[in-house]
């Protein structure tokens, strides 16, 4: 199999995104990744993050790129998680990415990075391959950042779609209708 095909396999499983680290894990040298980018097979972002031009983009591509740019252990949080899953109407101008470690690299203006050392491992999951906090954690983080009635309607919708457990979010019980 060719390096281009190997990278396509990785990108196809990651919303079109491939990193140099993932390529090297698959046996593709970093120099070959850069050569394929120079030839137009890959679109370079920065920090060793690329998209494969032969893999169609999805609504999950940009969030995957944002998490990859922030580095190992990065994840979506707050309204970016809810927007990713189509829960509510947010359309945030930036993708909110959290991390529990220091990130020194410069990120694009459309990525909002925040240190989230308060998020334990058990509250980080993957939605369509995108690392993110759980919906329940995202809702708890958004509770005091939006009007109460709008937040409660998000909780009801999350319960209806089985995105959170039947007990709802901490301190709030769903009203039976």
Kindly report the backbone phi and psi dihedral angles of residue 17, in degrees, each rounded to the nearest multiple of 5, phi listed first: -100, 140
On whether residue 143 sits in a domain, the answer given is no
- Residue 18 lies in domain: 3-52
On whether residue 165 sits in a domain, the answer given is no
pLDDT at 176: 38
Rounded Cα distance between 125 and 174, Å, is: 24
On whether residue 42 sits in a domain, the answer given is yes
Q: pLDDT tens-digit profile of 1-26?
A: 699 999 999 999 999 999 999 999 99
Handedness of CA 102, 112, 45, 70 (dihedral sign): positive
Q: Is 48 left (phi over 0), alpha (psi -120 to 50) or beta?
A: left
Q: What confidence category does residue 79 fall into, taking pLDDT thresholds of 50, 70 and 90?
A: very high
Domain count, the chain: 2
Q: What percent of the chain has pLDDT over 70?
A: 93
Name the DSSP class of 29.
Answer: -
Does 105 share its domain with 71?
A: yes
Q: pLDDT tens-digit profile of 82-105?
A: 999 999 888 889 999 999 999 888
On whether residue 176 sits in a domain, the answer given is no
Does 92 share its domain with 128?
A: yes
In the chain, alpha helices (H): 3-13, 20-25, 30-38, 61-70, 79-84, 135-142, 148-160
On whether residue 88 sits in a domain, the answer given is yes
Rounded Cα distance between 137 and 78, Å, is: 8
On whether residue 44 sits in a domain, the answer given is yes
Q: Considering the chain, what is the average pLDDT of its residues?
A: 90
Does 75 share its domain with 26?
A: no
């Amino acid at each position: 199999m060719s390096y281009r095909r190997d990278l396509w396999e990785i990108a196809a499983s990651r919303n079109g995104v491939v990193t140099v680290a993932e390529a090297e894990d698959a046996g593709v040298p970093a120099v070959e990744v850069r050569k394929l980018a120079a030839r137009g097979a890959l679109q370079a972002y920065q920090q060793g993050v690329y998209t494969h031009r032969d893999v169609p983009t999805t609504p999950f591509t940009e969030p995957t790129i944002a998490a990859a740019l922030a580095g190992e252990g990065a994840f979506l949080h707050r309204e970016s998680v809810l927007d990713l899953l189509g829960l509510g109407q947010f359309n945030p101008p930036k993708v909110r990415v959290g991390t529990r470690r220091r990130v020194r690299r410069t990120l694009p203006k459309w990525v909002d990075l925040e240190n989230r050392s308060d998020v334990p491992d058990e509250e980080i999951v993957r939605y369509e391959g995108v690392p993110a906090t759980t919906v329940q954690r995202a809702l708890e983080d958004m509770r005091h950042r939006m009007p109460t009635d709008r937040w409660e309607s998000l909780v009801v919708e999350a319960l209806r779609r089985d995105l959170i457990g039947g007990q709802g979010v901490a301190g709030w019980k769903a009203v039976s209708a």
